[in-house]
Homo-oligomer: A and B are copies of this chain.
Amino acid sequence: MDLGDIARRSFDSTSKGIPSPGSVTPGSVAQKNWNLLNDDLHFPTMVLLDSVVEHNLKTMAKWCAANGFLFAPHGKTTMCPQLYQRQLEVGAWGITVASAQQAMVAVKFGVKRILIANQLVGRANICSVALALGADPGLEVHCIVDSVEGVQHLAGHLKEAGALRPIKVLLEGGREGWRTGVRSLEEGRQVLAAIRKHPAQLEFSGFEGYEGIARLEEGALVKEYLDTLIRDVDTLAKELPKPATPFLFSVGGTSFLDYQHEILPSLKGRYQVVVRSGCYVTHDHGNYVAHIQRTHARGMGDEAWPPLKQALELWSLVQSVRDGKTAILTFGRRDAPHDGDLPLPLYVVRPGQSKREARKLEGAKVAKLNDQHAFMTIPPGVELHVGDRVACGIIHPCTAFDKWPVIPLVDDAYKVIDLYCTYF
Contacts and interface: CB of A to CB of B under 8 A. Distances in A.
Nearest to A329: B121
A219 B149 CA distance: 51
A330 interface: yes
* Identical chains bound together, number: 2
B183 A14 contact: no
Contact of A14 (B41, B108, B176, B339): B108
Contacts of A137: none
B386 A405 contact: no
A328 interface: yes
Given A14-B105, A213-B370, A122 B317 contact: yes
A99 B183 contact: no
Nearest to A161: B20
B320 A150 contact: yes
Interface stretch (A57-65, A123-131, A299-307): A123-131
Given A128-B20, A323-B176, A370-B179, A42 B339 contact: no
Interface in A366-424: 369-373, 375, 385-387, 398-399, 402-403, 405, 423-424
Contacts of A127: 19-20
Given A121-B317, A213-B370, A385-B149, A322 B183 contact: yes
Interface string A297-326: 000000000000000000001111111000
Given A101-B42, A121-B386, A20 B351 contact: no
A373 to B, nearest CB: 6
B122 A424 contact: no
Contacts of A423: 14-15
Contacts of A122: 39, 42-43, 317, 330, 387
20 contacts: A13-B101, A13-B128, A14-B423, A16-B101, A20-B131, A42-B99, A42-B124, A118-B319, A118-B372, A121-B317, A121-B387, A123-B351, A147-B386, A179-B322, A180-B322, A333-B339, A334-B398, A334-B402, A338-B339, A402-B403
Given A14-B108, A405-B424, 6 more contacts: A20-B104, A40-B124, A43-B125, A174-B322, A179-B320, A183-B323
